[in-house]
Amino acid sequence: MIKVAIVEDDEKYAKTIKEYLERFSNENKVELALSHYPNGFSFLEANKDVDIALLDIEMPGMNGMEVAKALRKNDQHVCIVFVTNMAQYALKGYEVGARYYIIKPISYFDFSVKLQTIVSYIEAHKGNYIYIKTNDGIAKIDASDILYLESEGHSIHFHTANGVFTKRLTMEEAKKAIGSFNFASCAKSFYINLDYVSNISKNNVYVGGAVIPISRLQRKAFIDAVTKYMGGSMI
């Protein structure tokens, strides 16, 4: 199921978008869960996990661009689509990673073509997500975006390209949450995503700019894991 949020203050357009989504769902046999918010504040306060956010640009109080920037702070993967009659905002959309613009008045053909591309992208990139409480709400992290895990006390630090997120749990619980991605232990307190390893020296592994120690006891197992990950092509 793909979760879609319609953030639109104009009831007429909100109704049209909902009807187009339902038609698309029936025609393409794609299960969609729809929710509507009359403004950006209500959408952000709901703090609801969605796959697609259809945002009107012109809304009172908080416009669609401001909503998108706030949304991006905690969710790097949601597909943001602006629905607007203001095409001049297109360049600004790159600042928040907007995937498409749908220009009003909305035609079903244009809407369905763009939505099909978005749905195909989501289905191909659907990841294993981990949710971590933050001061701003809840951060949604794709396990494939994690550089490495670091254990400290009773907490795990999730080091990602978008910052460090901390959750109170054990290393074993964190490993289970990540699932079957390409990770390996180089020391008791570290669990490394092999996708991001740039170099290995005698005592350290280099991951995303960080230098992490390799314990003597785990060095062989870690090197074996790296070799297996590289398909046995190490020379």
pLDDT of the chain, 235 residues: tens digit per residue: 899 999 999 999 999 999 999 999 999 999 999 999 999 999 999 988 899 999 998 888 898 989 999 998 878 778 999 988 776 655 566 667 777 888 888 999 999 999 999 998 888 767 677 888 877 778 888 888 899 999 999 999 999 977 899 999 999 999 988 876 689 999 999 999 998 888 899 899 999 889 999 999 999 999 998 888 776 545 4
Q: Three-state secondary structure along the chain? A: CEEEEEECCCHHHHHHHHHHHHHHHHHHCCCEEEEEECCHHHHHHHCCCCCEEEEECCCCCCCHHHHHHHHHCCECCCEEEEEECCHHHCHHHHHHCEEEEEECCCCHHHHHHHHHHHHHHHHHHCCCEEEEEECCEEEEEEHHHEEEEEEECCEEEEEECCEEEEEECCHHHHHHHHCCCCEEEEECCEEEEHHHEEEECCCEEEECCEEEECCCCCHHHHHHHHHHHCCCCCC
Domain extent for 88: 2-126
Please give the tally of structural domains in the chain: 2
162 and 134 inside one domain: yes
Q: Which CATH number do you get for residue 27?
A: 3.40.50.2300
**Domain end: 108, 126, 144, which one?**
126
Please check whether residue 234 lies inside any domain of the structure.
no
**Claim: this prediction has a pTM higher than 0.85:** no
